[in-house]
Amino acid sequence: MVKPGISNIYKRTYTTLIKNFTSKEVGSGNGPFIQLPKLTSYHNMILLNIPSFTTIYGNLRNISMLDISKKDMPGLYLSNLKDSNLTEFHTNNNPVNLILSLTNNKESLKVINLDTSSNGLVVPDLKNSVIYYSGDLTLNHDIKKITGFGVLVIKGSDNIFAKTLKEDESITIRAECVLAYDDTLTLQINDKPKVSLREQIFKKGYFFGNKNEFIKASGPGNIYLQNSI
């Protein structure tokens, strides 16, 4: 049973979502001053306000709503990407809005903005974890790495946590909890954790499941963790 207070929060959230869904983004994905799509999170959904003349890449199975007029439909170009679950979208001279949602209510979405001029973002399950991206990004499926400038959405099991590690900081985590991490991080496989599971649960705020392989992640850089039960 959903508590009345929680129900009101969801009602206000979805009212805001629908209101913003009808508001089109100003700007263009073409020219010297490129406007990237605007992404806004609403629980397990993400609203994309896509400017005109913009190319995005997304998983069709995760698109639940699309705001586009009949006259603009011929200008919306779709093309499936080879060796990928994603489809290439091109908007024409009018902006388009769409909503990404999850078919599994035990999954979550995370928006990541990238500006990796020298390094990249490593995503171990690149094919299945990335459900959307836009901008000047390159996805290398051989080494599971994303480089360039842009924005992307990854999905993970249950909640997704972002942790920034300083140069002299490290954490020990279960291997299956690693969703993505900056290439500046150093990862080492440990058979046993060097800090207790109790310390990680109550001091770090993460729950890591019950498998035996642990990874020590050392900074500097960001790491994105998912619950894995």
pLDDT of 16-36, one tens digit each?
A: 776 777 777 666 656 566 778
The whole-chain average pLDDT of the chain stands at: 77
Mean pLDDT throughout 162-189?
Answer: 90
Is the distance from CB of 95 to CB of 38 less than 8 angstroms? no
Could you tell me what percent of the chain has a pLDDT over 90?
21
Residue ranges of the domains in the chain?
4-101, 158-229
pLDDT at 48 over 90: no
Burial of 90 (0-12, 13-18, 19+ CB in 10 A): middle
The least confident of 51-55, 77-81, 119-123, 145-149 is 77-81
pLDDT for 81-113, tens place per residue?
666 778 888 888 888 888 888 777 677 889 999
pTM of the model: 0.76
Res 223: pLDDT: 94
Q: Which residues contact 173 (CB under 8 A, 6 or more apart)?
A: 200, 206, 208, 214, 215, 217, 223, 225
The model's pLDDT over 179-209, given as tens digits with 9 standing for 90+, comes to 999 999 988 877 554 444 444 433 443 334 4
Residue 156 has pLDDT above 50, yes or no: yes
Q: What is the pLDDT of residues 52-73, one digit of tens each?
A: 888 888 887 888 877 776 666 6
2 pLDDT more than 60: no
